Structure 1
Amino acid sequence: MIKTIDYQIDGINDAELDIKRNSKLEFKLTYDSTKEIRALIAVIPGLGEDGDTYYRDNLAHSIARDLDAAVITVNYFGVKSNPPVAKFSIDEIDELILKTVAENIGNPIPDNIELTKMESEEIWDFVNEHLYAFIGMQKLTGKLIRDFKMPMHMTLTPPNGEYQNFGLMAALDVVNSVLYIKNNPPFKLHPNCQNGQLATIYVGSSHGGYIANLCAKFAPWAVDAVLDNCGWNLSTEIFDKKDYQPGTFRTIGFGKEIDFMRYRRDSRDNENFHLCISDKTFWTSNSQSPNYFSRSRYEIRDVNEPNHLKVLSNYPKPIFKCYHVKGDSVAPIDEKIKFYEQLQANGFDATLDIVSDKSRVDGKFIKNLSHGMGMSIKLLVANNYEWILNKIAANKRPKCEPVITLETSQYTYKFSQKDNQVSLECKKKK
């Protein structure tokens, strides 16, 4: 019999920004109560994939039905970043953009209008009343060209006081969900899984794959294997380029400080508006702010940071397997090749399957050759399950203290597990 249990537990606070968390860590566990469970599989949703719970619930149900595995799906910190769960809002930068553009088209917004204090519905009512009809009339009279669309920017705010932390808190949420179930299993364990030997496999596509790799970086002792489909990476290389990489920088949330039309997560159009959207964040590109997203913040989030991989090589080594399409326009294949070359050089069991041939497109497992390949996560897990479990069984991982310290340019990051939860201490170097 398939069972699904909903959990709400305490999550960690944001140690980097020194913000106390208001929300609970929510996740679901799905398993077959008639089976002896050999593995705990965390299926990690991608950026903003909070809405398709039907797919996630059915995916977890089918994996638990077909395999002797329990499945965790986590609403990690900041994942609820799409409407209707996330609400449109306007911060000071959004307001400045909107008022500047409105003034430039000849319909200034009065100074006494405080857009930052409006609720989502109020914002849309005001924008439509004050600007939509005006733009339409200006087009009719020829004062604006017919295909003009007023550029504007809004922020999507997740519920419960959450925001875009980008990766770090999300990864720790996933790890802590796994640790909670591993230490409080409601299911029967397979005889080979006694004494804490329940296999832990982290599975994700795109941003979910990135988070899976971060889990292995921040808590390698809690991860037996990572199964990644076209996961991207937040790389420090963007500091050394003339342009920011659109697949990474624009999703952090503060790209609007530089170019709101280019470095945004998403955009939407109607006949009169070109709306650019970013996630709420407290990070900034302002180097004078205590919330400056400095090179150190990138380094801790870069799964391919060489010095960190050397530190990880001294810990029990997770197994890595990745499918990545060669022509990926969102997550460049060169980044993934470098990552797997470094993993192998540091003694990790790492297998990279580069998909480039149209013959691999079978319409079931792989459906196309674009980012993510339309891949069936059900088949991704099923096709690799026994292979991974055999690898884990053969991987003699020594025990270690559940603490890892990773040095960056300006900060020391210390991840440590206590009472079945991994937390972070972040200290600035003197």
Structure 2
Amino acid sequence: MIQTKSYQIDGINDAELDIKRDSKLEFKLTYDNAKEIRSIITVIPGLGEDGDAYYRSKLAQSIARDMDAAVITVNYFGVKSNPPEAKFSIDEIDELILKTVADSIGNPIPDDIKLTKMNSDEIWNYINKHLFNFIGMQKITGKLRLDFKLPIHMTLAPPNGEYQNFGLMAALDVINSVLYIKNNPPFKVSPSCKNGGGLTTIYVGSSHGGYIANLCAKFAPWAVDAVLDNCGWNLSTQIFDKQDYQQGTFRTIGFGKEIDFMKYRRDSRDNENFHLCVSDKTFWTSNSQSPNYFSRSRYEIRDLNETSHLLIQAQYSKPIFKCYHVQGDIVAPIDEKIKFYDQLNALGFDATLDIISDKSKIDGKFIKDLNHGMGMSMKLLVANNYEWLMDKIAQNKKLKHEPNIKFKTSQYLYEFNEQNNQVSLKCSKITQ
């Protein structure tokens, strides 16, 4: 019989920003209690997807029914970054933008109106009353063009006091969920697991979820047996504009609005009077004088293709890597993925990159189109690769070592260490 259990455990604090975490680490486990379980498969949702309806209900149950695997789905840190879970808010930069554009159309917002103190409903009520109706009247009287849309910016804040950390906290949440279940299994464990390294761990992700899965293998290679990736991106592709690095122009990490709120926003949406740009709540900034400056070091630790870090990973047990990536992916350009897999193979990893470029691969079931993510069935992604991965993992040599890995960046030393079945981070500044 299929069982689903919900968990809330303590998550790690944000060591980079020195912020104490208020929220719990939440995840669900689905398994068939009639089976002897050989593996834990964690399915990692993409950016802004909490995945209750699909990942937890349909996909997790389907995998647990068809395979001898337990399935974990994690509400990793900051995952609920889209409405209705995430709420519209206005910070000081948003308020400055809004007051500036309101001035530009001759309808200034009074100084005593503090939009930063309002909740989501109050913000929209005020903007609609003060600006939406005003713009409508200006169009009727011919003072504004009929196609005019006022550009404004708002911030989407996830629930439970979370924010966009981009990748690192999310990956540690996924790892720690897997470690918790691996060491506290509520199901029957197959006797075949007792002669080796215990339950096999397979991390599956699509798009941003694929990126997080690969980060898990970087931050805790001893806790990952395989990564199964569909069109996962890397920080230095869609999200990171290399040419404008010194200006800190990140589109997805949340502070691109400090440079150009219309160009470097995560998303935008329109109605007849507004062009709304939105970004995720974050405490990172492009201000190099701030302790929260997103420096090159912060980028390097999140970059899958950082060669010096891959050399360190190669000294540990090597997970199996398998990826499907569409040739013309405009969200996650394939050049980054090819470079990543070339480096993995050169360092002795078992890494298979399946590049999809031919319409003949579209079968309407597994692959549905040649866009980012390919409309891929996550159920078939797992089903088509499960036994192949399990055989590969069984043949893979596991190295014995301390569950600790260190990465040196331009300014900081990042040390990931497992204690009491939880991986935490120590981040210390490198002194010259």
Q: Place the TM-score, normalised by the shorter chain, in its bin.
A: over 0.9
How far off is 1:194 after superposition? 1.3
Amino acid at match of 2:413: T
Output the CA distance in 2 between the equivalents of 1:158 and 1:73.
18
* Identity score, percent: 80
Query: Partner of 2:110 in structure 1?
Result: 110
Query: Partner of 2:267 in structure 1?
Result: 266
Q: For residues 299-351 of structure 1, what are the alpha-carbon distances to aligned partners after superposition, in whole Å with 9 as ceiling and x for unaligned?
A: 00001100000000000000000000000000000000000000011110000
TM-score scaled by structure 1? 0.97
Amino acid at match of 2:323: C
Query: Partner of 2:283 in structure 1?
Result: 282
Amino acid at match of 2:157: T
Query: Partner of 2:181 in structure 1?
Result: 181
How far off is 1:53 after superposition? 3.0
How far off is 1:153 after superposition? 0.4
Cα pair 2:55 2:73 within 8 Å, conserved: no
Q: Check 1:29–1:52 CA distance in 2 against 1; reply closer, same or farther (3 A cut).
A: closer
Query: Partner of 1:65 in structure 2?
Result: 65
Amino acid at match of 1:353: D
Output the CA distance in 2 between the equivalents of 1:236 and 1:21.
29
Q: Check 1:130–1:410 CA distance in 2 against 1; reply closer, same or farther (3 A cut).
A: same
How far off is 1:142 after superposition? 1.3
Output the CA distance in 2 between the equivalents of 1:234 and 1:249.
9
How far off is 1:240 after superposition? 8.1
Q: Check 1:236–1:323 CA distance in 2 against 1; reply closer, same or farther (3 A cut).
A: closer
Output the CA distance in 1 between the equivalents of 2:203 and 2:6.
19
Output the CA distance in 2 between the equivalents of 1:197 and 1:190.
9
Q: For residues 91-125 of structure 1, what are the alpha-carbon distances to aligned partners after superposition, in whole Å with 9 as ceiling and x for unaligned?
A: 00000000000000110000110000001000000
Query: Partner of 1:324 in structure 2?
Result: 325
Cα pair 1:51 1:82 within 8 Å, conserved: no
How far off is 1:182 after superposition? 0.1
Query: Partner of 2:166 in structure 1?
Result: 166
Q: For residues 14-72 of structure 1, what are the alpha-carbon distances to aligned partners after superposition, in whole Å with 9 as ceiling and x for unaligned?
A: 00000000000000000000001111000000000015534432100000000010000
The secondary structure found in structure 1 opposite 2:339 is helix
The secondary structure found in structure 2 opposite 1:21 is coil
How far off is 1:249 after superposition? 2.6
How far off is 1:236 after superposition? 8.9
Q: Check 1:23–1:344 CA distance in 2 against 1; reply closer, same or farther (3 A cut).
A: same
Structure 1 segments of 4 or more deviating over 6 A?
A: 236-240
Query: Partner of 1:155 in structure 2?
Result: 155
Q: For residues 233-288 of structure 1, what are the alpha-carbon distances to aligned partners after superposition, in whole Å with 9 as ceiling and x for unaligned?
A: 012998884357xxx93110111111111111111110000111111000000001
- After superposition, residues 196-215 of structure 1 pair within 5 angstroms as 196-215=197-216
* Gap regions ≥5 residues in structure 1: none
The answer to whether residue 67 in structure 2 is matched with residue 74 in structure 1 is no
Query: Partner of 1:21 in structure 2?
Result: 21
Amino acid at match of 1:48: G
How far off is 1:373 after superposition? 0.2
Output the CA distance in 1 between the equivalents of 2:41 and 2:393.
13
Amino acid at match of 1:155: T
Query: Partner of 1:424 in structure 2?
Result: 425
Output the CA distance in 2 between the equivalents of 1:159 and 1:381.
30
Cα pair 2:240 2:250 within 8 Å, conserved: no
Cα pair 1:319 1:391 within 8 Å, conserved: yes
Q: How many equivalent residue pairs?
A: 427
Moved more, 122-131 or 249-258: 249-258
The secondary structure found in structure 1 opposite 2:77 is coil
- After superposition, residues 208-223 of structure 1 pair within 5 angstroms as 208-223=209-224
CA RMSD in angstroms comes to 1.4
Amino acid at match of 1:140: I
Cα pair 2:237 2:332 within 8 Å, conserved: no
Output the CA distance in 1 between the equivalents of 2:25 and 2:51.
17
Q: Check 1:274–1:237 CA distance in 2 against 1; reply closer, same or farther (3 A cut).
A: closer
Output the CA distance in 2 between the equivalents of 1:59 and 1:286.
42
Output the CA distance in 2 between the equivalents of 1:181 and 1:295.
35
Q: Check 1:238–1:172 CA distance in 2 against 1; reply closer, same or farther (3 A cut).
A: closer
How far off is 1:410 after superposition? 0.2
Amino acid at match of 1:129: K
The answer to whether residue 10 in structure 2 is matched with residue 10 in structure 1 is yes
The secondary structure found in structure 2 opposite 1:154 is strand
TM-score scaled by structure 2? 0.97
The secondary structure found in structure 1 opposite 2:16 is coil
- After superposition, residues 179-258 of structure 1 pair within 5 angstroms as 179-194=179-194, 196-235=197-236, 241-243=242-244, 249-258=250-259
How far off is 1:191 after superposition? 1.2
Q: Check 1:215–1:287 CA distance in 2 against 1; reply closer, same or farther (3 A cut).
A: same
Cα pair 1:235 1:299 within 8 Å, conserved: no
Amino acid at match of 1:407: K
* Gap regions ≥5 residues in structure 2: none
